[in-house]
Structure 1
Amino acid sequence: MSTETPPQLAFDELGTPLRDTTFVVFDLETTGGSHEDDAITEFGAVKVRGGEVLGEFATLVDPGRGIPPEVVALTGITDVMVCAAPKLDAVLPAFLEFAAGAVLVAHNSGFDVGFLKTACARLGYPWPKPAVVCTVRLGRRVLSREEAPSCKLSALAALFRASTTPVHRALDDAKATVDVLHGLLERVGSLGVQTVEELLDYIPEVTPAQRRKRTLAEDLPHEPGVYLFRGPSDEVLYVGTASDLRRRVRQYFTGSETRARLREMVALAERVDHVVCAHPLEAEVRELRLISAHKPAYNRRSKNPRDAWWVVLTDEPFPRLSLVRTARDGALGPFRGRARAEEAMQAMQAATGVRPCTVKIPAKSPSATPCALAELERCAAPCAGRQSAQEYAPAVAAVASLVAGASTDPLRRLALRLTELAEARRFEQARADRDRMRTLVRGLDRGQRLAALAAVAELVAARPDGAGGWEFAVVRHGRLASAGVARRGVRPMPVVELLVASAETVLPGEGPLRGAVGEEVALVLRWLDRPGTRMVQCSSPWAEPAGCAATWRGWLERADAAREAWRAVD
């Protein structure tokens, strides 16, 4: 027998003791089993704390419809009994007030909570998201099959010698559930479950090995940051972010983590490293960089953030569009997948007149045989000498001006083409062209916004931290170069000066993003775009070009809505 003393929990880990927790044990009677189609006919609830009854709530409810005979036979509630009862819009707010701040308890809670959530949605009340304990699930975790072959309320009430017999009336069933709850809590108490948090963690199935690994989170602070699970060979298995490192990592060792992939990762983990961050933006950026550096086996995204796709003009006498992995000046992107990049390229070819073929065309005396695209009037056939380099040049210039945000004339030509196709009742072709244009407009808008931020050599921004202080970010060419906070009462500008002086040096590279990773620039831009962010200082104006694709966002919203409507019909 082991005599090892379990580690003592710190005060902030103790949670809410069960003896100090207010539970509202409730039951509903309804006209049927569907919370979408049926209605509530009766509420019954008992509020308890520390084994003492604090109050009761009971009322019939007019469901606004007839009660089926089989339900009348089961509950004894008739149409005559509910005809003078209050309607749900009067009862629901009273029940929500009665249960406010308490842990809800119900036998087969999914049924009762489902009706409550639907009622809140229909009557315009926000669902308060209380903690919920289901005595059916708890009973199945605590009791053996030999002791409790059935977990029906009547069976458990008999097992725990409940003072009230459940009879399919809301208040009586709630009273019986109170006795069942107290009996189950006595059982889990002997297993070391002493708080609400431990109870909620205990109810789902958790292996002993998984539970033992909770010690891996003991040394983590209650701070925002990045955590790294490491395996037997010190390899990084998984990287994540958290606003509270200890609380988040502890969740991996409880039933709240249901993903099989991450349960497997936890089984392999030997330790958890962490990096404390000033605020969530720094945590997200560090997570991205660590995933890129370590390529953890259990992370699915961002392992190769530089493997984006770009659309570029080739360097030849009659340039064409090409897909590449490495960005250079004038490129359109980044796109997360090749398919999206191809769609944008096809739309740009149609919009600008750039040739869609991949034939190498010499500068002098081209004499190739025109392909089918020329017959379809989708190409002016420069390969056959039908178009000179000077005549072809406007198409190349249209691509450059569209990507740079100097002009959206090519988009107007595409929109006009969609109108012509619709008027000719060529709806399938119009839909395909619209979807390609959507990808192009979205890619242009995103790329131009990211490029505008990456063009700024240095930018310092601040956001309120919600407690009277400030969160700061020093951004250089789209990269997070430094991050910090000035807590309430601390003068902010000296903190800004220190952050700027200690910030990472960023040398701009090639391409629209000056060598930065698109995902990181997007994270920074999202943080800067949030309401409440303020600009502290900026080395040069941060602005988007006047002819940028942002002017087409209204069209994009309408196209998105049309696409969703078509999907619904299809």
Structure 2
Amino acid sequence: MDVGRRLDNAQLTFDELGTPLRDTTFVVFDLETTGTSPGPDGITEVGAVKVRGGEVLGEFGTLVDPGTAVPPEIVELTGITTAMVRAAPPIERVLPAFLEFISGAVLVAHNAGFDTGFMRAACRAHGYHWPRAAVVCTLRLARRLLTREDTPSYRLSALAALLGARTDPTHRALEDARATVDVLHGLLERLGAVGVHSLEELLDYLPEVTPAQRRKRGLAAHLPRRPGVYLFRGPNEEVLYVGTARDLRRRVRQYFTGSESRGRIREMVALAQRVDGVECAHSLEAEIRELRLLAAHRPAYNRKSKNPHKAWWIVLTEEAFPRLSVVRLARDGALGPFRSQSTAAAAANTLADAAGLRTCTQRIPAGGSTGTPCVLAELGRCGAPCAGRQSVPEYATGVHAVSELIAGRDNAPLWTARGRLEALAEAQHFEQAARRRDELAALVRAVRRGHRMAALAAIPELVAAAPDGNGGWELVVIRYGRLASAGVARRGVPPMPVVEALVASAETVLPGPGPLHGSAGEDVGILLRWLTRPGVRLVRTARPWAEPARGAAGWQDWLERAESGRTPV
């Protein structure tokens, strides 16, 4: 009996064994580019091969228009010419399909830092999220496994010849990806000889993982394989880092493997003594809880905003000749929220210019002026239209127009600004017109976002459901723009009884001041994005959810053209 116990205790669990390499889905990809620096240089070709257990599951390949001419030295190296890419799609049209192709897979590339660097930069430039996928670099792996006696070079062509690749690298993306697949398989065969059989062991085998990191894998052992929020705690119980995960245990374990290459995070892991997990019903609840924990603990190693409940607002000052002011405290009649003071100030200046409001802080006498210049104008230091250059009725009309726009009853200032940029374009002042176009687009986005968020925050109670991907439903109860309750109805479970239980146990939320009724702007923004995803259904709402008819919603077509740089001004 004692011997049996010892054998049972020595036996590894399936979780400790990890994911077998034969069951791991890899996407091996390669890029061709116009140079070596993401941003200044563009992508000209993308090639990728999806494999699992030695079987090819699919391939992805396309030329990409980099938006610039291909340099002669790149043409000579790859054979890709400017004429070849001119009719190809730009990277922003390629990214959605590529991101879908790599979803859920381990990424592999030869000199992976180069390829992932370009992809991260492209995603950042075009508003896409680069996934937190495990990355295997065949160059680093080859340097770890093979000595100089095995191969004189670690270039892809040399490794392909050494390991018997069926495809010769040609500096074309798909062919090089196919060659890298064979190199990967050859390296994995050699890994078996040193006892590496799972994905976790493969990531641990990479040289950047210190023994201290490996020893701390046990900090994740108690965490559930459920969505939630995790908190790394230091020697004095202080919270070092907060993050979210769809699978708490798997995500936290990644911090102790080679997939974690961020220096500051590895420093945080070295300090960590414990990891706490907060299990959540689904990823939306986890995202909201993360914001609240960031605000509560302000962890030193998080780069995400540690003041998620702080925002900037545009208001009309309370004086005889009001001006637009950027403030922290929201009140009724405010426009926002804005994530930074600078973006709020830029929107305020655009709106003030369109409505003819003053932008300086000099006070105008309550009696007003009927055209008498202000002191700054007399000194020649200001040429902007303001209360010192307008009649009282004209200025009052501008103030009323701004108030009506913020309330969503009239968007006349937007049309005024659009008319001015059209006049600039007709006069062939194209640089000024482009600048005005970008300023107006930013204002339109701010007005539309503010109206949408305020409309959601005004609803006393809203219940919504989203498919969970497994035949069930993710459920939320939202009160005045705040997540009050969250739950799931698994496949086969009637959802309405679950809804009634969530409503009955939901947090009581009392409305506060301002357009968002006291709710935090980031919270409302996250809920709004979730509610407007495809497939989300409104179960019931205490009052209709509707945006203002005369806000900025009708400007969506113009906004899309403006953002693409093809606005017919």
How far did 1:539 drift? 0.7
Look up the match of 2:282: 279
**Residue matched to 2:428:** 425
> How far off is 1:109 after superposition?
8.4
8 A Cα contact 2:369 2:391, kept in partner: no
Counterpart residue number, 1:496: 499
Task: Show the counterpart of 1:249.
Answer: 252
Tell me how far 1:185 sits from its aligned partner. Answer: 2.6
Q: Is the 8 A contact 2:364 2:388 kept in 1?
A: no
Residue 210 of structure 1 deviates from its aligned partner by 1.0
Are the structure 2 counterparts of residues 423 and 12 from structure 1 closer, same or farther at C-alpha, using a change threshold of 3 Å?
same
* SS of 1:300 mapped into structure 2: coil
Deviation at 1:138, TM superposition (A): 3.1
For 2:376 and 2:440, the matched residues in 1 are separated by 23
The corresponding residue for 1:299 is: 302
Q: Hey, what's the Cα distance between the residues in 1 that align with 2:541 and 2:185?
A: 65
Number of the residue aligned with 1:381:
388
Instruction: Provide the rounded CA distance (Å) in 2 between the counterparts of 1:343 and 1:401.
Output: 20
Cα drift, residue 155 of structure 1: 10
- The Cα of 1:511 is off from its aligned counterpart by 0.8
CA distance in 2, matches of 1:268, 1:250: 16
Q: Is contact 1:157–1:180 with CA below 8 Å preserved after alignment?
A: no
1:337 aligns with 2:340: yes
Q: CA deviation at 1:424?
A: 2.3
What letter corresponds to residue 268 of structure 1 in structure 2? L
Match of 1:351 among 346, 351, 354: 354
Instruction: Deviation per CA, 1:329-357: give whole Å up to 9, x if none.
Output: 11111111112111111111121122222
Residues 504-524 of structure 1 show CA distances to partners (whole Å, capped at 9, x for unaligned) of: 111111111111111100000
State the percentage of identical aligned residues: 59
Match of 1:538 among 537, 541, 550: 541
Is 1:153–1:166's contact at 8 Å kept on the other side of the alignment? no
Aligned partner of 1:446 in structure 2 is 449
Deviations 1:212-269 (A, max 9, x none): 1111111111100000111111111111110011111111111111111211111111
Aligned counterpart for 1:370 among listed residues 348, 355, 374: 374
Query: Does residue 184 in structure 1 map to residue 190 in structure 2?
Result: yes
CA 1:8–1:477: 2 relative to 1, 3 Å: farther
TM-fit CA distance, 1:427? 2.8
1:324 aligns with 2:331: no
Unmatched 5+ residue regions in structure 1?
Answer: 29-33, 41-45, 56-100, 118-129, 566-570
**461-470 or 450-459, which moves further after superposition?**
461-470
1:519 to 519, 522, 537: 522
Distance of 1:268 and 1:457 partners within structure 2: 44
The AA in structure 1 aligned to 2:250 is R
- Aligned residue pairs total 475
Q: Report how far residue 458 of structure 1 moved.
A: 0.6
Q: What amino acid maps onto 2:201 in structure 1?
A: E
| 2:333 and 2:403 in contact (8 A); partners too | yes
| SS, match of residue 188 in structure 1 | coil
Q: Distance in 2 between matches of 1:544 and 1:131?
A: 41
**Normalised by the size of structure 1, how large is the TM-score?**
0.72
| Equivalent of residue 513 in structure 2, options 510, 515, 518 | 510
Question: 1:134 & 1:387 partners in 2: Cα distance?
Answer: 69
Determine which of 470, 483, 505 is the counterpart of 2:473.
470
Shift of 1:553: 1.5
1:314 aligns with 2:317: yes
**CA–CA separation in structure 2 for the residues paired with 1:440 and 1:167:** 53
Give the aligned partner of residue 562 of structure 1: 565
Q: 1:435 aligns with which of 431, 435, 438?
A: 438
Please tell me whether residue 407 in structure 1 is matched to residue 410 in structure 2. yes
SS of the residue corresponding to residue 485 of structure 2 reads strand
How far 1:563 sits from its partner (Å)? 8.0
Q: Which residue of 1 aligns with 2:398?
A: 395
Across the aligned residues of Structure 1 and Structure 2, the Cα RMSD in angstroms comes to: 4.6
Distance of 2:46 and 2:330 partners within structure 1:
60
Structure 2 residue matching 1:281: 3-state secondary structure: helix
Is the contact made by 1:21 and 1:196 (CA closer than 8 Å) also made in structure 2? no
Q: 2:13 aligns to what?
A: 10
Please give the secondary structure, in 2, of the residue aligned with 1:496: helix
Q: TM-score, normalised by structure 2?
A: 0.72
Secondary structure of 2:194's aligned partner: helix
Query: Structure 2: how far apart are the matches of 1:492 and 1:167?
Result: 53
Name the aligned partner's letter for residue 540 of structure 1: R
**Corresponding letter in the other structure for 1:253:** F
Structure-2 residue corresponding to 1:127: none
Shift of 1:542: 0.8
1:551 to 554, 557, 561: 554
Deviation at 1:564, TM superposition (A): 11
Rounded to whole Å, the distance in 2 between the matches of 1:376 and 1:327 is 31
What is the Cα deviation at residue 469 of structure 1? Answer: 1.5
